[in-house]
Amino acid sequence: AQSVTQLDSQVPVFEEAPVELRCNYSSSVSVYLFWYVQYPNQGLQLLLKYLSGSTLVKGINGFEAEFNKSQTSFHLRKPSVHISDTAEYFCAVSPMNTGFQKLVFGTGTRLLVSP
């Protein structure tokens, strides 16, 4: 079984400041890793994913994440945030050893960007 822990339920930050949203996971098998963003009253949009290869992954809207296998972490970063980045962010994993994709999500981190 897999589990995902997002250590911060809410992260307040000022516009143009850097931000890091933390994600740790637990799994008995290797996993794919994802970050999704959810704007109010909307579904989920994929920001980035790690399947294999380079541990530093770049996504949309200037976000990037680094996979650290030894620490079982996949933290999301952005060097300079905008007001429009205010949203809920979800980290998710999917086991590699199955022929289908089941996403296991964390409880989410609300990013609040203020002027």
CA distance 64 to 55: 10
Q: How far is the CB of 81 from other proteins (least distance, A)?
A: 22
Asked if 108 is part of the footprint of other proteins (rule: CB under 8 A), the reply reads: yes
Task: Among 16, 20, 42, 114, indicate the residue that binds other proteins (CB under 8 A).
Answer: 42
For residue 62, which phi and psi values (nearest 5 degrees)? Answer: 80, 5
Binds other proteins by CB under 8 A, chosen from 26, 45, 55, 68? 45
- For 37, 38, 88, the CA distances from 41, given in Å and listed in that order, are 12, 8, 11
Chosen residue from 90, 93, 111, 113 binding other proteins by CB under 8 A: 90
Q: Does 49 bind other proteins (CB under 8 A)?
A: yes
- Could you say whether residue 99 binds other proteins (CB under 8 A)? yes
User: Strand 10-14 relative to strand 109-114: parallel, antiparallel, unpaired?
Assistant: parallel
Whole-angstrom distance, CA of residue 12 vs CA of residue 17: 10
Q: Is 4 in the site for other proteins (CB under 8 A)?
A: yes
Spatial distance between the Cα atoms of 55 and 42, rounded to a whole number of angstroms:
29
Told to check if 23 binds other proteins by CB under 8 A, we report no
State the Cα torsion 49-50-53-54 to the nearest 10°.
Answer: 80
The reply to whether 22 sits near other proteins by the rule CB under 8 A is no
Binding site for other proteins (CB under 8 A): 4, 32, 36, 41-46, 49, 51, 90, 92, 94, 96, 98-108
